Amino acid sequence: MLYLVGLGLSSVEDITVRGLNVVQKCARVYLEAYTSILMAASKEDLENFYGREVTLADRELVESSSDTILEGADKVDVAFLVVGDPFGATTHTDLIIRARSLGIPFEAIHNASVLNAVGACGLQLYNFGQTVSLVFFTDNWKPDSFYDRIKENRKIGLHTLVLLDIKVKEQSFENMARGRMIYEPPRYMNIETAASQLLEIEYVRKEEVYTDNTPCVSVSRLGSPDQKFVAATLGELSEIESGEPLHSLVILGHRTHEMEIEYLLDFATDKMKFQKAVETEVEAAVELPPPVTADEDDD
């Protein structure tokens, strides 16, 4: 059996009892180590807690050499550990598809992830639209596909959760081109970088999907004892010191409920300014034309 086990967000103890029981009976245990990290636990911490050897599974192993992970999983139990929930990344769905093709049974053991724990900032989960990812820009590579997804969310007033890039065991273009197996130090995008990159694309696209004055919430170290939320405008967040990773960012939509605002104000850097930014969003939305809907007879 292949078990995909969610680890939660921060500590070795965030694993469920059921997940722990499964890990301790498995012949091999892999830790997916490139879509996220446990903020308060290392590989060695996990090994000590589980009483099992843990093999780090980097992007290359999971995406290009999944047969190594699945080898013999039809005869012995294999655990694939995922920070958050097993279905928080499409890579893990690919692993299941591969297991199915090989006739290997599988089971997922769920846990908390940023996709549901983000509700701790006070925004209601059913008011969120599409989640987007933001990667580190380079001098000649600044992908902006996220911009259109945010635009779609904001047209109908929904919040957008922005997941920030992490770089673990990544090669520079030069080392990759030269075939040198030298890896860059890990990097984790912070709030100020994310806000600046978002604004950089807005300045280029000029569609006013969001602005410096758009109300947002920074989410730092979610699920850890020192988790932190900051409610401020996007421009203000481009200048803050967000501290240690991991981070996410939420762009508010205009359908923000009064209870959400009341909750968020405790995290605001400037309560009056944040309240005004939200009110401006709502007022601007009232002036928008209604969404275009097709007639029933239209194709």
Residues 252, 192 share a domain: yes
Residues 181, 93 share a domain: no
Has 247 been labeled as part of a binding site? yes
Residues 133, 276 share a domain: yes
Dihedral sign for Cα 150, 132, 121, 271, please. Answer: negative
Q: Does residue 299 fall inside a structural domain? A: no
User: What local confidence, expressed as pLDDT, does residue 176 receive?
Assistant: 58
More confident residue, 170 or 7: 7
Has 9 been labeled as part of a binding site? yes
- Is 286 a residue whose pLDDT tops 90? no
DSSP-assigned letters across all residues of 255-290: T--HHHHHHHGGGBSSHHHHHHHHHHHHHHHHTSPP
Has 17 been labeled as part of a binding site? no
Residues 275, 129 share a domain: yes
Phi and psi at residue 29, in whole multiples of 5°?
Answer: -130, 125
- Is 297 a residue whose pLDDT tops 50? no
- Is 294 a residue whose pLDDT tops 60? no
Match 């549901």 to its residue by tokens. 116
More confident residue, 215 or 66: 215
State pLDDT tens for residues 19-42.
999 999 999 999 998 888 899 899
Q: How confident is the model at residue 296 (pLDDT cuts 50, 70, 90)?
A: very low
Domain boundary among 112, 135, 154: 112
How many whole angstroms separate alpha carbon 207 and alpha carbon 203? 9
Has 7 been labeled as part of a binding site? no
Cβ–Cβ < 8 Å for 55, 36? no
Q: Does residue 258 fall inside a structural domain? A: yes
Residues 100, 122 share a domain: no
Has 242 been labeled as part of a binding site? no
Residues 61, 13 share a domain: yes
Domain boundary among 67, 95, 112: 112
Q: Does residue 292 fall inside a structural domain? A: no
* CATH number (domain holding residue 55): 3.40.1010.10
Distance in angstroms between the alpha carbons of the first and the last residue of the chain = 46
State pLDDT tens for residues 61-118.
887 778 899 999 999 999 999 999 999 887 789 899 999 999 999 999 999 999 999 9
Average pLDDT over residues 267-294: 80
User: What local confidence, expressed as pLDDT, does residue 170 receive?
Assistant: 64
> Residue 122's domain spans which residues?
115-287
- Is 205 a residue whose pLDDT tops 60? yes
* CATH number (domain holding residue 190): 3.30.950.10
Residues 105, 120 share a domain: no
Has 92 been labeled as part of a binding site? no
The number of distinct structural domains making up the chain is: 2
Has 95 been labeled as part of a binding site? no
Residues 247, 229 share a domain: yes
Residues 217, 142 share a domain: yes
Residues 153, 224 share a domain: yes
Has 114 been labeled as part of a binding site? yes
More confident residue, 91 or 207: 207
Average pLDDT over residues 46-72: 89
Query: What is the chain's mean pLDDT, rounded?
Result: 90
Residues 181, 221 share a domain: yes
- Is 298 a residue whose pLDDT tops 60? no
User: What local confidence, expressed as pLDDT, does residue 258 receive?
Assistant: 92
Q: Does residue 183 fall inside a structural domain? A: yes
